[in-house]
């Protein structure tokens, strides 16, 4: 059993500090990691010589192919994640890919549970927080802000007046990327996808079988397919999974790995441990919760494990 980890990383000292803490938490609980693939959004890509990895784990740094184009949190992030998954499909052979943001944190072992879930549910291409939060709050996909955008992306011809660029954009089925993107969304909808549904992008697992299906469909061949769209990578990966016949499934009940929300945490640090989560997101400052205090709580737990 082994898995690969895909982490997009932006610029700045804070991102590097978050990355180091994330990796320290990961390797404390899971040592059988095949590789860490960093998608560097800084040009030129950095070397990260100060990162400490187990001898059995290789570090791969890939520049985000967007090279400054698009929105770094939306289509630009999608470009980087697609590029990373394309590299993994060609150069690795693991049981699953774990995608993590730098504001995620590992707080307990998880790999065996993820493997068991993929084995029990082969139709699940993505596992994480999809149709509900870890606190059993069910989201309605039609309420998601990206649903109208996905609806518009299905049109054979339209004009986008507000884009990540300072000019309008013509969307036309005669253009190859517009046509391929439209076909993907329509295929996903035919397979049961509800517009706006997504596996929350802070932390989720992608099965190796899913990766091979995405590659066979040509989805990983063009990382810039969604570059100008208002769709983030979790939307893109979920649409792609459904287009290939898979689904996004929840693995975020108590005792399951993913205690993940888009903003903030689903519970206090102590309660997250008690409830048996393994991967949490987001540890950034949110309302009364401070990132520094959250990280210190879990760092102290790791130190006490070693003593």
Instruction: Kindly give the parts of the chain with pLDDT less than 50.
Output: none
Structural domain boundaries enclosing 143:
3-306
What confidence score (pLDDT) does residue 141 get?
60
What confidence score (pLDDT) does residue 136 get?
87
What confidence score (pLDDT) does residue 140 get?
60
Query: How many independent structural domains does the chain possess?
Result: 1
What confidence score (pLDDT) does residue 143 get?
59
What confidence score (pLDDT) does residue 50 get?
87
What confidence score (pLDDT) does residue 46 get?
85
3-state secondary structure the chain: CCEEEEEEECCCHHHHHHHHHHHHHHHHHCCCEEEEEEEECCCCCCCCCCCCCCCCCEEEEEECCCCCCCCCCCHHHHHHHHHHHHHHHHHCCCCEEEEECCCEEECCCCHHHHHHHHHHCCCEEEEECCCECCCCCECCHHHCCCHHHHHHHCCCEEEECCCCCCCCEEEECCCHHHHHHHHHHHHHHHCCCCCCCCCCCCEEEEEHHHHHHHHHCCCCCCCCCCCCCCCCHHHHHHHHHHHCCCEEEECCCCCCCEEECCCCCCCCHHHHHHCCCCEEECCCCECCECHHHHHHHHHHHHHHHHC
Cα distances from 16 to residues 49, 134, 229, in angstroms, run: 12, 28, 28
Domain CATH code at residue 115: 3.90.550.10
**Tokens representing 77?**
């992030």
What confidence score (pLDDT) does residue 163 get?
80
């Amino acid at each position: 059993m082994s898995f690969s980890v895909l982490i997009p990383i932006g610029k700045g000292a804070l991102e590097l500090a978050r990355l180091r803490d994330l990796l320290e938490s990961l390797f404390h609980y899971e040592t059988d990691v095949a590789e860490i693939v960093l998608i560097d959004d800084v040009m030129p890509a950095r070397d990260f010589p100060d990162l400490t990895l187990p001898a059995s784990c290789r570090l791969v740094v890939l520049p985000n192919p967007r090279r400054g184009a698009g929105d770094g949190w939306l289509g630009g992030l999608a470009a980087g994640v697609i590029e990373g998954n394309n590299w993994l499909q060609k150069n690795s052979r693991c049981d699953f890919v774990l995608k993590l943001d730098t504001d995620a944190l590992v707080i307990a072992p998880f790999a065996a549970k993820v493997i068991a879930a993929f084995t029990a549910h082969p139709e699940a291409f993505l596992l994480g927080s999809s149709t509900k939060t870890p606190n059993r709050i069910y989201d309605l996909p039609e309420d998601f802000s990206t649903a109208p955008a996905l609806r518009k992306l299905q049109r054979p011809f339209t004009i986008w007046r507000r884009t990540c660029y300072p000019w309008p954009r013509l969307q036309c089925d005669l253009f190859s990327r517009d046509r391929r993107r439209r076909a993907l969304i329509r295929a996903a909808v035919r397979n049961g996808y509800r517009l706006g549904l997504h596996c929350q992008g802070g932390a989720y697992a992608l099965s190796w079988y899913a990766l091979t299906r995405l590659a066979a469909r040509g989805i990983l061949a063009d990382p810039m397919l969604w570059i100008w769209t208002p769709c983030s990578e979790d939307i893109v990966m979920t649409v792609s999974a459904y287009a290939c016949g898979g689904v996004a499934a929840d693995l975020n009940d108590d005792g399951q790995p993913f205690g993940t929300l888009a903003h903030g945490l689903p519970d206090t640090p102590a309660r997250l441990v008690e409830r048996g989560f393994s991967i949490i997101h987001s540890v950034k400052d949110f309302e009364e919760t401070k990132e520094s205090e959250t990280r210190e709580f879990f760092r102290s737990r790791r130190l006490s494990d070693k003593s």
